[in-house]
Amino acid sequence: MQHQKLATIEDVAAIAGVSIATVSRAINEPTKVADATRRRVTEAIARTGYTTNAMARSLRMRRSNMILILAPDVGDPNFSNILVGLETEASKRGYGVLIGNTQNDATRESDYLRFISSNQADGLILFTGHLPYGYSSGEMRLPPMVAVNEPVLGGDIPFVGVDNVEGARVATEHLISQGHRRIAFIGHSTAKAVNLLREQGYKAALSGHGIAIDPHLILAGDGTTESGRAATEHMFVRDVLPTAFFCVNDATALGVIISLNARRYDLPRQFSIMGFDDISFASFVTPSLTTMKQPRLKIGEEAMDLLLALLEGKPARRREVLLRPELIVRNSVARIGQD
Amino acid sequence: MQHQKLATIEDVAAIAGVSIATVSRAINEPTKVADATRRRVTEAIARTGYTTNAMARSLRMRRSNMILILAPDVGDPNFSNILVGLETEASKRGYGVLIGNTQNDATRESDYLRFISSNQADGLILFTGHLPYGYSSGEMRLPPMVAVNEPVLGGDIPFVGVDNVEGARVATEHLISQGHRRIAFIGHSTAKAVNLLREQGYKAALSGHGIAIDPHLILAGDGTTESGRAATEHMFVRDVLPTAFFCVNDATALGVIISLNARRYDLPRQFSIMGFDDISFASFVTPSLTTMKQPRLKIGEEAMDLLLALLEGKPARRREVLLRPELIVRNSVARIGQD
DNA sequence: TTGTATGCGTTATCAT
DNA sequence: ATGATAACGCATACAA
């Protein structure tokens, strides 16, 4: 059994003693209807508990006022905080938010496109870093969309995220300001845009301070905790050691800390570690992690704002919105003695 | 500019040389159409790239195949993992998932009801622990819904979650098995169902082992980290101390650990701490937290399964699905010397 | 097995 | 300022 039969615009019209056209106008263009009738309509609406049927409305208007959010892992803590911003802004502007968890699965990605192609969503927020499988073939027209967190390589999709180069530069300079000169970068990768950009900021900071870039101090990593651990172990099989580790993200930094702790080093006295992201556990590790905080709420709000502007036909003000991350000083970085 | 004009059922019918009714049947009731025509239709669909317009379909069918998820805090890590399960199961069954972040705000809660009353969502998942403001007034009919994580007090809303009593019992018995007798419970509260139930399990375990319940060892707390810290400090102003702390949840346990660490106690040698939930940081604190793990993915799947069964008119098999949490042994609990 | 025709609840055009 | 009416795209009762 369904919940009770809902009142329609016709019920309201009957009670108010007007036509359905007038009711529709009273709702959507109140100025175009006489005060007296508008009041009658308003009262009739109240009496019936009428709500516009969104389906009929969407069918007629050819827009659903829904936004589809595609993310590889909805459970990722980095995602959920951005989601809050996305949802807040969307809700404020009268839009609803649909969630699609793709798990980086091509089938699932293309499956979610039905929401677009069937008019169930007007726009797309992409966390995946690439066009959904199915669009790449170019056989479908692209709906308005903006990439978040991970830029879409190659395309010219508007992007909202953190300024990775600048953030990495600030992070590295913080280490330098604490007297460090031999600073390792953990997380070299040519595959991920984020890694590329953060490495770039790291190098810029070094160069800016006249510190030579030592390839031996740059280790590969894909951003996982395991990669941080592996890189650290790798570092110790040689005898060229840094005094500080700048990690491409907090997850990697955690791996480094675990590895270093296991080797019984006294942190941060013997090694300093710097992360990037400020994910929730950063303040709970020992030593608590000094890192760059992503303004996640703001990222979500800006991204949704940009998408809705696109949707409303305004020219995209910018193809890229880069927010500055904030340096969060905790206990994993120590000043180094003179060397 | 919108994306290209989409093909409709009429375009397909024209190409296949049949009526729209036949196309509709070929899609929805394939057996009711001759093989030859079905093939022609299928081919025409492929050629046009036709997708059913969900809005028109929903309008006609009076169901949207959408589920609205109402949560007080979408950013809560405990939420996002359950969300994965919810989304997975929904997607598997052809349903979409809509997110509503209420922030415990009555206005926002009632605002989201428009999704229900306007037919944009067929069912409701509640994380809030109470009926949305607006339903409580009783003026609207309730849609099919199920409560997750936090049961809805008073109503007879089907609930899916963890067996809190049993979990708390197992947790407390683990402490007992390690020789503890003076076990504190941090997180007494009459306001929250979860706290009530876990305290109940704690007491059951104690009674079951013939240990007297000492009211001095039961401290109030609302489940926040700060409440854990405060309770611990409160404990030390008196001289009656436990050997172990069973905390109503991991957040509380973290507060206890912070407080104990600050007092320079050697954990877990001097005090054992047990949490509940197994949230992400649990393995990163020092000492890493022994706790009860919630089967979050499973909870989400079960909840969605139950809701969809309701939606499809099947009688609710059960009003309550209680999943057993799993004991995760880490390093915050130690065996106590004989006393 | 297939086709015709109606209605789902709106918005928008065109009269009045 | 208001009303009659035609779409929007589909599913289905009924006819053939």
The model's pLDDT over B155-175, given as tens digits with 9 standing for 90+, comes to 789 999 999 999 999 999 999
Residue A330, pLDDT above cutoff 80: yes
The nucleotide lying nearest A31 (C-alpha to C1') is D1
Cα-based distances in Å from A273 to A231, A256, A330, B35: 13, 8, 10, 67
Residue A338, pLDDT above cutoff 50: no
Residue A232 token pair: 């650290």
For the beta carbon of residue B329, count every other beta carbon within 10 angstroms: 11
pLDDT at A150: 87
Nearest chain A residue to B313 by CA distance is: A1
Residues 6+ apart with CB under 8 A from B103: B72, B73
Instruction: Confirm if B189 and B220 have CB atoms less than 8 A apart.
Output: yes
Instruction: Confirm if B98 and A96 have CB atoms less than 8 A apart.
Output: yes
Q: Is nucleic acid strand C under 7 Å from A30's C-beta?
A: no
Q: Which letter does DSSP use for residue B338 in this model?
A: P
The model's pLDDT over A148-171, given as tens digits with 9 standing for 90+, comes to 988 887 778 999 999 999 999 999
Q: How far is the CA of A46 from the C1' of D14 (A)?
A: 39
Of the listed ranges A179-183, A326-330, B1-5, the one predicted with least confidence: B1-5
Asked if B141 reaches chain A (Cβ–Cβ under 8 Å), the answer is yes
pTM: 0.90
Average pLDDT, chain A: 92
Residue B1, pLDDT above cutoff 60: no
Q: Is nucleic acid strand C under 7 Å from B32's C-beta?
A: yes
Residue predicted with more confidence, A77 or A106: A106
The model's pLDDT over B96-107, given as tens digits with 9 standing for 90+, comes to 999 999 998 999
Percent share of chain B, pLDDT over 90: 78
pLDDT at A1: 36
Residue B4, pLDDT above cutoff 60: no
Cα separation, B108 vs B164, whole angstroms:
29
Asked if A117 reaches chain B (Cβ–Cβ under 8 Å), the answer is yes
Residues 6+ apart with CB under 8 A from B54: A114, A115, A118, A119, A120, B64, B65
pLDDT at A4: 56
Percent share of chain A, pLDDT over 70: 96
Q: Pairing between strand B96-101 and B145-148?
A: unpaired
Instruction: Confirm if B185 and B249 have CB atoms less than 8 A apart.
Output: no
Residue B2, pLDDT above cutoff 60: no
Residues 6+ apart with CB under 8 A from B268: B287, B331, B332, B333, B334
The nucleotide lying nearest B6 (C-alpha to C1') is D9
Residue A139, pLDDT above cutoff 60: no
